[in-house]
Amino acid sequence: MKSAVTVIIVLMILGIVIFLLRQYSPSASNIISTSPSPAPNDQPDNVEAVKILATGLEVPWALAFLPNNDLLITERRGTVKLLNADGKVIEVGKINGVKQITESGLHGVAVDPGFSTNQYVYFYYTYGEVGGNTANRVARLQFDGQKLTNETTIVDNIPGAQIHDGGRLKFGPDGHLYITTGDAANPSLSQDKNSLAGKILKVSDEGNVKMYSYGHRNPQGIAWDRQGRLWETEHGQSATDEVNLIEEGKNYGWPTTRGEQKQQGMQEPVLQSGSDTWAPAGATFYKGSVYFGGLKGQALYQFNIDTLELKEHFKRQFGRIRDVVLGPDNMLYITTSNRDGRGNPAPDDDKIIRINPRTMKLLVSPTFFLTYL
Let me know: does 124 contact 168? Beta carbons within 8 Å: yes
| Domain contains 16 | no
Residue 34 lies in a domain: no
Cβ neighbourhood burial of 41 (10 Å; 0-12, 13-18, 19+): exposed
Q: What is the pLDDT of residues 332-362, one digit of tens each?
A: 999 999 999 999 999 999 999 999 999 986 4
Confidence at residue 45, expressed as pLDDT on a 0 to 100 scale: 57
How do residues 60-111 score in pLDDT, each as one tens digit? Answer: 999 999 999 999 999 999 999 999 999 999 999 999 999 999 999 999 999 9
Residue 324 in domain: yes
What residues form DSSP beta bridges with 213? 200
Task: Report which of 233, 236, 269 is spatially closest to residue 255, judged by C-alpha positions.
Answer: 236
Nearest-CA neighbor of 279 among 148, 103, 107?
Answer: 103
Q: Check whether 121 has a pLDDT greater than 80.
A: yes
- pLDDT, residue 205, reads 81
Burial of 97 (0-12, 13-18, 19+ CB in 10 A): middle
**Type of residue found at 22:** R
Is 101 part of a structural domain of the chain?
Answer: yes
Cα–Cα distance, 177 to 112 (Å, whole number):
8
Would you say residue 19 lies in a domain?
A: no
Query: Does residue 135 lie within any of the structural domains?
Result: yes
Of the candidates 332, 228, 251, 320, the residue with the CA atom closest to the CA atom of residue 279: 320
In angstroms, rounded to a whole number, what is the distance separating the alpha carbons of residues 65 and 84?
A: 10
* pLDDT digits 0-9 by tens, 178-199: 999 999 999 999 999 999 999 9
Q: How many domains does one find in the chain? A: 1
Residue 51 lies in a domain: no
Residue 47 has a pLDDT of: 74
* In a domain? residue 14: no
| Cβ-contact 211, 191 below 8 angstroms | no
Domain of residue 133, residue span: 56-370
Confidence at residue 131, expressed as pLDDT on a 0 to 100 scale: 64
What predicted TM-score, i.e. pTM, was given to this entire model?
0.86
CATH of residue 188 = 2.120.10.30
What pLDDT is attached to residue 92? 98
Which distant-in-sequence residues (6+ apart) come within 8 Å of 221 by Cβ? 168, 180, 232, 233, 280, 281, 282, 283, 292, 293, 324
Q: Residue 36: is its pLDDT beyond 80? A: no
Cα separation of 169 and 55, whole Å? Answer: 24
DSSP letters spanning 129-156: -TTS-EEEEEEEEEE-SS-EEEEEEEEE
